[in-house]
Amino acid sequence: MRLSVVIPSFNEARRLPSTLIEIVRFLEGHPRWRPAEILVVDDGSSDGTCAAARGTVLTVGITLRCLVHDHNRGKGAAVRTGFGAARGEAILLCDADMSTPIEELEVLAGTLAGAVSIGSRAIDRSRIERPQPKYRDIMGRVFNLAVRLLAVPGIRDTQCGFKLFPGDLGRSLAAAQRIDGFAFDVELLFLARAAGFTIREVPVRWRHVEESRVQPVVHSADMFADLLRIGWWRLTGRGRGGG
Ligand SMILES: Nc1nc2c(ncn2[C@@H]2O[C@H](COP(=O)(O)OP(=O)(O)O)[C@@H](O)[C@H]2O)c(=O)[nH]1
Ligand SMILES: [Mg+2]
């Protein structure tokens, strides 16, 4: 299996079908990524997300699996489930809303060679086609500043939902990762770096998509609390065999 595409999905019955069509079409046109599997992780959705995903028309060399949590456990937990089940040599983590078009996989892969390649909105802002609302942009910048100070120095945007991991690393991260909520990206990068992997931040096309599952106040508080946990792990040596 060349590629696993992991899509954490919470109530995505409406957005997923067109996303899956785009992914399948891209894979058809790029044989070097096949055989490929798409793993939709339905995180306790109540809107028939899985049924909507299963309606996708597939072609040779492309499979789709839907993994289901019986209740909502959080995006980080869903990613853990997806990475643990992924069989690909490379694993693409991709949001259901396609804020970054799937074609950008080629841009991430251009730099892969054993590294983690992450889509970024902070390096070349001219690649942002539709910016997010100002307040979200500011919240994102503040969060990323705290990330650089506390957890993963040097990375300017940890939160873009488009990241490519070497498959074996992704599977071992699934076994190690603990954070269930939206700060899981930071933990993945922290652990990858502690394991000796280079993280490459790559400017990708990105467009804000209305309708977010992220509630600014509640989720920011959780994310900062989790960020402090990661900072603590960094100080006390977790990830370097410190348990
Ligand atoms: N598994 C899981 N995924 C979630 C949850 N909340 C959001 N997501 C997924 O995370 C991705 C990004 O969510 P979105 O609402 O677009 O957030 P935003 O663009 O970051 O504001 C989508 O694929 C969502 O389905 C959750 O509680 N659990
Ligand atoms: Mg989004």
| pLDDT, one tens digit for every residue, the chain (243 residues) | 999 999 999 999 999 999 999 999 999 999 999 999 999 999 999 999 999 999 999 998 999 999 999 999 999 999 999 999 999 999 999 999 999 999 999 999 986 678 999 999 999 999 999 999 999 999 999 999 999 999 999 999 999 999 999 999 999 999 999 999 999 999 999 999 999 999 999 999 999 998 888 888 888 999 999 999 999 999 998 876 544
Q: What pLDDT is attached to residue 61? A: 96
For residue 140, the ligand closest to its alpha carbon is: 1
For residue 16, the ligand closest to its alpha carbon is: 1
- Alpha-carbon Rg for the chain, nearest whole angstrom, is 17
Q: Which of 183, 170, 176 is nearest to 219 (CA)?
A: 183
CA of 9 to the centre of ligand 1 (A): 6
CATH number corresponding to 3-236: 3.90.550.10
- What atom of ligand 1 comes closest to residue 95's alpha carbon? 23
Q: What is the pTM of this model?
A: 0.96
Query: Is residue 75 a contact partner of residue 177, using CB atoms and an 8 Å limit?
Result: no
Q: Find out whether the beta carbon of 40 lies less than 6 Å from any atom of ligand 1.
A: no
Q: What pLDDT is attached to residue 215? A: 84
Q: Find out whether the beta carbon of 160 lies less than 6 Å from any atom of ligand 1.
A: no
Nearest CA to ligand 1 atom 2: 75
For residue 223, the ligand closest to its alpha carbon is: 1
Phi, psi (deg, nearest 5) at residue 93: -95, 125
In 3-state terms, what secondary structure has residue 223? Answer: helix
Calculate the alpha carbon distances from 137 to 121, 130, 140, 143 in Å: 10, 12, 5, 10
Q: Find out whether the beta carbon of 208 lies less than 6 Å from any atom of ligand 1.
A: no
Query: Is residue 6 a contact partner of residue 86, using CB atoms and an 8 Å limit?
Result: yes
Q: What pLDDT is attached to residue 238? A: 80
Rounded CA separation 8/24 (Å)? 17
Calculate the alpha carbon distances from 209 to 18, 67, 113, 162, 206 in Å: 14, 25, 31, 14, 9
Dihedral, CA of residue 198, residue 107, residue 39 and residue 152, to nearest 10: 30
Q: For 49-65, b where at least 16 C-beta lie within 10 A, e where not — what string?
A: bbebbeebeeeeebebb
* Other CB atoms within 10 A of residue 151 CB: 24
Query: Is residue 157 a contact partner of residue 139, using CB atoms and an 8 Å limit?
Result: no
Q: What pLDDT is attached to residue 231? A: 95
